[in-house]
A and B are shown apart, each in its own frame.
Chain A
């Protein structure tokens, strides 16, 4: 069974631009969560989508948004990029049941110049 895939793997943008990252969950998984990983802040939860609805949201500004499609694939968008948005963005998928395992993709490394 294929794991979680994320595209692109690497991305370089400049301040003020916007970016869209894509995540394909493990087949059958209905929940997709996004996390930001930085050396300073560690792993932080961005948001979670289930059945095309955002079910949970972390403490990030409104510039960070996402969506989920009917096939459970998800995208996250960051508008008006800032230097501090440089990070590894990780997507995780799961069955959406209690005490479940979240399976992470390899991440998208975003560098904002």
Chain B
């Protein structure tokens, strides 16, 4: 019930193209869905996040689409650039006053943007 499934495992797009990464979750108690970007040798950095009461959130070239009934959410990267080449992780968490929050991560997607 705590799993988050992410696909594809790897993705290659051309510069200027759209990158789409999908995630599905099982636990309906999750209330926060962030996406993290990780470059080699670095820790994950928050890219964009969404709450389940919102169906879409856009920040610059990055958009999260959220489908609560299907328990799925996706990351769209518009006008993909070589500098976007990194590993992307979706995650989910639920807040508890005494338990705090713990991130459950997807398996990760290795994105390569060719120039």
Contact = CB atoms under 8 A, between A and B. Distances in A.
Interface in A51-110: 55-56, 58, 90, 92, 94, 96, 98-107
B99 interface: yes
A48 B49 CA distance: 21
Interface of A is mostly: strand
B108 A56 contact: no
B105 A43 contact: yes
A31 interface: yes
A102 B36 CA distance: 10
Nearest to A48: B100
Interface residues of B, number: 26
B102 A106 contact: no
Interface stretch (B16-24, B38-46, B70-78): B38-46
Interface string A30-41: 010101000000
Interface residues of A, number: 27
In terms of DSSP, what is the predominant structure of the interface of chain B? loop
A55 B44 contact: no
Contacts of A48: 100-102
A28 interface: no
Contacts of B105: 42-44
Given A48-B102, A92-B43, A96-B100, 5 more contacts: A56-B101, A98-B101, A101-B34, A102-B46, A103-B46
Interface of A: 4, 31, 33, 35, 42-45, 48, 50, 55-56, 58, 90, 92, 94, 96, 98-107
5 contacts: A45-B104, A48-B100, A92-B103, A98-B31, A102-B101
Top 4 nearest A-B pairs (CB, nearest first) are A104-B43, A43-B105, A98-B95, A99-B32
